[in-house]
Amino acid sequence: MSATQKFSIASIPADGVGKEVVAAGRRVLDALAENSSGKFAFDWTEFPWGSEYYAKTGQMMDPKGLDALKDFDAIYFGAVGWENVPDHISLWGLRLNITQNFDQWANIRPVKFLPGVQSPLRKADNTELDWVVVRENSEGEYAGLGGRNLSGRGPGNEVALQTALFTDKGCERIMRFAFDLARTRTVKKVSSVTKSNAQQYGMVLWDEVFNRVAKDYPDVQTESVLVDAMSAKFILKPEDLSVVVASNLNADILSDLGSALAGSLGLAASANLNPERRFPSMFEPVHGSAPDIAGQGISNPIGAIASAALMLDHFGLHEEARRVEAAIETATGSGHLTRDVGGDATTEDVTEAIIKALTLAPAAV
């Protein structure tokens, strides 16, 4: 019998519903491991960082937190943000602190249309839709460059500068990642999102690098679409999409649009990847901390559980990742839906339905 493969995972539930959905995802992964006949196991370490930690310490995470995280196989993250901390402090103090310092430069956000979930997009009723947004996750509009100055001149005279950073290296590596991903899909196509008609420096560089990289992938279809036109395409011609690659801000917005079209932000999964594996990658649902429903047990755990499936893929457990995804579809298809997608199921109900579907489904031999 082969030895059990053990994966060490840092769990950071953080704020609001993040605590509920991370707990749900952990239960699903542990159920999967328990039924693996000893093939693999997960070793969890939970960190208490977030807005409650900030209230006690004045910091979103331990100053030595990155050192504590760097040797884990992966990070499983919930959501960040609460009324006691300004959003830019909570985000930069925890989530972006991790993604930036661990060079998690590739962010993937699949857009999944699940059975039983009604999409506001009428085309989804009779058209097979499935695409993934690839987000440049290390620079662009979220590089954190800029500042606020001249406040000494008095009210109304302060100046704020927010500088977007586009590097040849940063553009090329995310585009090659997108092309490599496209080669694994049924429809081999990459759509680049740009705004080079108005942003004549950074986005022109983005376009030039895309055209250069595309020459190395003659088997992959390409197109370059302005971001405003792409937002319309998400609604009017989504069947024409396979892999959409965009800058940090553009991909952030478009991926949320895609998830809303699929039915809810509560369904949306993501992976923040350091493809070279110099640092651990981080997996998290796209939704926020949702203070209005936190603690009520009605949050949608699917985004977090689907993010756990992306983590399984990162570990090389591809068959197990497909089983989790199939279990999600079984649960939604049988009517286990939280209120954000038109149902009345609790977080516990949906989690139990997914675990039941997962344990009843035969594992690959």
Sign of the Cα torsion 188, 194, 197, 203 reads negative
CA angle at residue 176 from 191 to 322, to 5 degrees?
A: 80
State how far the Cα of 136 lies from the Cα of 173, in Å rounded to an integer: 9
The HSE-up count of residue 193 (CA atoms within 13 Å, CB side) is 30
State how far the Cα of 62 lies from the Cα of 188, in Å rounded to an integer: 43
Give the other-Cβ count within 10 Å of 65's Cβ.
Answer: 20
State how far the Cα of 61 lies from the Cα of 71, in Å rounded to an integer: 17
- Tokens coding 317: 């457990």
Query: What is the dihedral angle through the alpha carbons of 207, 212, 216, 218, rounded to the nearest 10 degrees?
Result: 60
Show which residues are catalytic: 142, 195, 228, 252, 256
What is the chain's Cα-based Rg?
21
Residue pair 238/225 in contact by the 8 Å Cβ criterion: no
Residues 6 or more apart in contact with residue 293 via CB below 8 angstroms: 17, 299
- Tokens coding 181: 């991903």
E strand or H helix at 145? strand 140-149
State how far the Cα of 110 lies from the Cα of 179, in Å rounded to an integer: 15
Residues 6 or more apart in contact with residue 112 via CB below 8 angstroms: 130, 262, 267, 269, 306
State how far the Cα of 77 lies from the Cα of 21, in Å rounded to an integer: 9
